[in-house]
Amino acid sequence: MSETIVLVVDDSRVSRMMTKSAIERLRPDWVVLEAASGEDALSAVALDRPDFILMDVNMPGMGGLEAARQLRPRLPKAGISLLTANIQDSIRDQAAAMGVGFMSKPLRDEDLAAFLAAGRPPS
Amino acid sequence: MTDFLGEVERDAVTEILNVAIGRAAAALSRLVTAEVTLSVPMVEFLTPALAAERIDAATGKQVSVAVRQTFRSSFSGDILLIFPEGKSLDLVRSMLGDSVPLDSLTELEQEALLEVGNIILNGCLGSLANQLDIDIDSSLPTYVRGRGARILDSSHPEAELVMVLQVDFSVAAKGLGGYLAFVMDIVSARHFSESVNAFVARTLAGGAAPA
């Protein structure tokens, strides 16, 4: 059986560390890859095809919404969710419209567990 | 200096910011896994120099570190999260727990503070946007270190007065404390007040409920 890959996209190294640590607590056997921008995320999926993607929104260069918009059709089977401090309803609505989940920071373990189990965060 | 808002408008502005700051405090509480206590928000109209003095008074004229974001909607301004310098490492330690070796904490302090600021300030702005049913764009967070004038950065040097909203917060269990401040020029403060008035009118008419 092939390994399960999670891609964490966030311009904050500390945020990536915290998210990676939470994933590794829940799924110690999974592989966690990191990308620091939307552009890096697009490059990363060309090399490895992640099963799950957690995407920050406010990043320099290509933001998370645009990156998710481009990744969604390229990885139709992957679970993709925004993970952002930007809790505005308009961001939530845009995520729903493109078939992407939404989780707010700080990340709750139960939200992450539900996402990694079902490919979408609890609604 | 307090004639720019009537009593009812001031009350509405304070209340709506109170809810937004409550949302931010909940995020901070989850980050440090401890209860966060908030002071009653204080809204004042001050000259930029006096606003800087307020920050200095609140921090005992010590050097502080702050995370600042500029926001823009029908009103615009800066939102700041300010900590006494010596306390920021404690905050980072509370946040990262045992997942990071002690000797790496100092190296990560600035990045961690930026992320704390990102979560708290966006939580606050997001709640504001949701309550007022508007979109608010915000810049990426920036890190600032210094005393009051440097923290405020005189981003409104031409302004005669700025509206400053300040809330003190503390995490007693962790010995942490800091300040959250909104700074807007008078034109923005008026637009902000108009948005709040529209929200109050909608709510009283049985429309939108506070988010």
Which residues make Cβ contacts (< 8 Å) with residue A36, sequence separation at least 6? A9, A10, A11, A13, A16, A59
Residue whose structure tokens are 């901070």: B28
A106 → closest Cβ in B31, B114, B130: B31
| CATH architecture assigned to A5-118 | 3-Layer(aba) Sandwich (3.40)
State which of A81-95, B37-51, B180-194 shows the largest mean pLDDT.
A81-95
pLDDT reading at B204 higher than 90: no
Interface contact B123-A85, CB threshold 8 A: yes
For residue B128, the chain A residue with the least C-alpha distance is: A88
pLDDT reading at B82 higher than 80: yes
- Cβ B33 vs Cβ B103: under 8 Å: no
ipTM: 0.75
Confidence at residue B43, expressed as pLDDT on a 0 to 100 scale: 82
Q: Class assignment of domain B7-204?
A: alpha beta
- B52: closest CA of chain A, how far (Å): 28
Confidence at residue A119, expressed as pLDDT on a 0 to 100 scale: 75
pLDDT reading at B69 higher than 90: yes
Confidence at residue B136, expressed as pLDDT on a 0 to 100 scale: 95
Confidence at residue B21, expressed as pLDDT on a 0 to 100 scale: 86
Lowest-confidence segment of A41-50, A108-117, B95-104, B113-122 by average pLDDT? B95-104
Q: Which residue has the higher pLDDT, B109 or B140?
A: B140
- Mean per-residue pLDDT, B113-126: 90
Q: Which residue has the higher pLDDT, B107 or A45?
A: A45
**Domain ranges within chain B, ordered by starting residue:** 7-204
Interface contact A88-B108, CB threshold 8 A: no
For residue A57, the chain B residue with the least C-alpha distance is: B140
Interface contact B122-A85, CB threshold 8 A: yes
Confidence at residue B192, expressed as pLDDT on a 0 to 100 scale: 87
Which residues of chain B does A62 touch, with a Cβ-Cβ cutoff of 8 Å?
A: none
Q: Which residue has the higher pLDDT, B144 or B167?
A: B144
Interface contact B96-A14, CB threshold 8 A: yes
- A86: closest CA of chain B, how far (Å): 5
A105 → closest Cβ in B112, B119, B135: B119
- A49: closest CA of chain B, how far (Å): 27
- A77: closest CA of chain B, how far (Å): 29
pLDDT reading at B211 higher than 60: no
**Domain ranges within chain A, ordered by starting residue:** 5-118
pLDDT reading at B85 higher than 70: yes
Interface contact A106-B30, CB threshold 8 A: yes
For residue B93, the chain A residue with the least C-alpha distance is: A14
- Mean per-residue pLDDT, A64-80: 96
What is the tens place of the pLDDT at every residue in B151-183? Answer: 887 555 566 677 788 888 888 877 788 888 888
- Cβ B127 vs Cβ B19: under 8 Å: yes
- Mean per-residue pLDDT, A77-81: 96
d(CA A59, CA B58): 32
pLDDT reading at B187 higher than 70: yes
pLDDT reading at B135 higher than 80: yes
B99 → closest Cβ in A17, A90, A108: A17
pTM of the model: 0.82
- B42: closest CA of chain A, how far (Å): 25
- Which residues partner with A34 through β-bridges? A8
- Mean per-residue pLDDT, A60-67: 95
Interface contact B136-A58, CB threshold 8 A: no
Please say whether the dihedral angle defined by the alpha carbons of residues A84, A89, A93 and A99, taken in this order, is positive or negative. Answer: positive
Amino acid at position B193, single letter: S
- Mean per-residue pLDDT, A89-95: 93
For residue B114, the chain A residue with the least C-alpha distance is: A12
Interface contact A17-B27, CB threshold 8 A: no
Confidence at residue B176, expressed as pLDDT on a 0 to 100 scale: 80
Mean pLDDT of chain B: 82
Interface contact B126-A85, CB threshold 8 A: yes
- Distance in angstroms between the alpha carbons of the first and the last residue of chain B: 31
- Cβ A91 vs Cβ A82: under 8 Å: yes
Lowest-confidence segment of A47-51, A60-64, A92-96, B206-210 by average pLDDT? B206-210
Tokens of A28: 């110690």
Using a CB–CB cutoff of 8 Å, tell me whether A85 touches chain B.
yes
Q: Which residue has the higher pLDDT, A53 or B115?
A: A53
Confidence at residue B1, expressed as pLDDT on a 0 to 100 scale: 40
Task: Give, as one character, the DSSP assignment of residue B176.
Answer: E
Interface contact B122-A13, CB threshold 8 A: no
